[in-house]
Amino acid sequence: MAYGSVVDRFLDAEEEPSQTLIPIQGYEKAPLVSLEEAVEPIQTLIPNLDSMVKTAKRNSRKPSDDLTPDESAAIHLYTMQWPKPHPSLYTLLNKKLRSQDRDTLILWFSYLKLFLTALHKLPSFKGTIWRGVQGNLSDQYDKDQIWWGASSCTETMNVMEEFVGLDGVRTLFNIECINGKVIRAHSYYKTENEILLMPGTYLQVVSKWRAAKDLYIIHLRETTAPYQTIAVPCDLPSSFVGISSLTTLAISKEKKSGSSGYVAPAQSHGPQSTCLPPSPPKYHNPKLEQIIAYKEGDSKLLLHREGLTDEDMGIVVYYALRNNKTLTELQLDSNQVGDKGAQYLDAALHKNTTLTTLWLNNNKIGDKGAQYLVCYQSVNNPAERFRSRLSDVMSETYLFDEQKLTKVFRNMNISGEIGYIQQ
């Protein structure tokens, strides 16, 4: 365990402002550059920064978690301790993140972009973590609190007690965390099991009590903030480049069957190759991204009545469906999703093996979009019970021939205005 002034970053909760600050934004527009370039604007603020950067880069040549060497090195640099009397990089950065003058953060934008992009790519930790401070902060925590700095925490109360000490007045924070970042693999101190809460983390006060004569415990629960506290760090583009680059499904040209107007899906013995986007989309919807991040690890994701469009489905596909092994139910009803959004979803559904329930009623998906979903169900996954509410999804002519529709959706339960169709 690394002691001394390294422990300071675990004990600086008292530095968090009681005043609600304006969101942290602007940094997300900075380009992603190398660590050397990212720290160039702050060179004059931190002594020996060049040598520290070189150390961080040498220790981050083969990073884990699909981070680039520069991204991993940005986290590594954050954890490094400068020799006294010089303040460490994390001390100076957190001071700026907690400042009500957001202009003082501008020089840090390039580093912050690299650092938060790296953290954003790490898997989220969900569980109980601990943080502490010397002194009694009970009176400052009534309803909720926003921690504007990057907050270092540990998994066990015993470790935090070692940090904060066993004597004197002290406060321990017991935190129900849903979006912590385990940075041990990228830290300078490999023996520390440090879990970092992202800047702008919103915490609700669950309870607080006096556990001993000089020991106070505050129970906090991480939850969605009432407003966006910090811009999303990653480049999340406007849409995927071309539908054809997303997927090449074996869908035939539309063929009318009799006078019903029914469009038959292509017949195939299996799905054709489906390509998911290798990088985040450039288009971003901060509220949607936050909801998905906070619900990571849950079995149900509720996104109904959020005004979501086709472009938003790119975000849903990349962040909620692409590598998700826990999500079983996705509610997307009562949005503005059209045919293009349905194709985005189809590309992810071909790869996803855990989702069993999808709600899509009251959207703008037409015949073509419905074909993608039909092909996914009838060709790619005929054995799995997959429910989909598709009332008001397809055109009236598509729904006209109930007998054929029932056959195509033989593994779906469809309810809504068209009634309930037995499998």
Q: Are 89 and 136 in contact (CB under 8 A)?
A: no
Q: Is the pLDDT of residue 152 over 60?
A: yes
The pLDDT value recorded for residue 392 is 38
* Residue 412 binned pLDDT confidence (cut-offs 50, 70, 90): very low
Residue 33: both structure tokens together: 């550059």
The pLDDT value recorded for residue 374 is 58
DSSP 269: S
Neighbours of 16 (CB within 10 A): 19
Q: What percentage of the chain exceeds 90 in pLDDT?
A: 40
Q: Are 131 and 180 in contact (CB under 8 A)?
A: no
- pLDDT tens string 156-166: 888 888 888 88
List Cβ neighbours of 51 (8 Å cut-off, separation of 6 or more).
none
Burial label, 189 (beta-carbon count in 10 A; 0-12, 13-18, 19+): middle
* Residue 59 binned pLDDT confidence (cut-offs 50, 70, 90): very high
**Does 4-222 carry CATH code 3.90.176.10?**
yes
- pLDDT tens string 192-237: 889 999 999 999 999 999 988 899 999 999 998 888 899 987 653 3
Distance CA 149, CA 403 (A): 60
DSSP 230: B
* Residue 259 binned pLDDT confidence (cut-offs 50, 70, 90): very low
- pLDDT tens string 287-312: 888 788 878 888 889 998 889 999 99
Cis peptide before 277 (omega within 30 of 0): no
Question: What does 359-409 look like in DSSP terms, one character per residue?
Answer: E--SS---HHHHHHHHHIIIII-TTS--EEE-TTTS-HHHHH-HHHHHHHT
Which residue in the block uniquely carries the two structure tokens 């007690």?
A: 161
Specify the range with the lowest mean pLDDT, choosing from 50-54, 259-263, 334-338: 259-263
Distance CA 87, CA 78 (A): 12
In the chain, where are the structural domains located? 4-222, 243-408
- 243-408 adopts what CATH topology? 3.80.10
Residue 244: both structure tokens together: 């054809």
Q: Is the pLDDT of residue 419 over 50?
A: no
Residue 21: both structure tokens together: 């600050």
Q: Are 56 and 77 in contact (CB under 8 A)?
A: yes
Per DSSP, what are the bridge partners of residue 220? 175, 205
φ and ψ at residue 307, rounded to 5 degrees: 70, 30
Q: Are 132 and 170 in contact (CB under 8 A)?
A: yes
Specify the range with the lowest mean pLDDT, choosing from 38-52, 56-70, 299-313, 406-420: 406-420
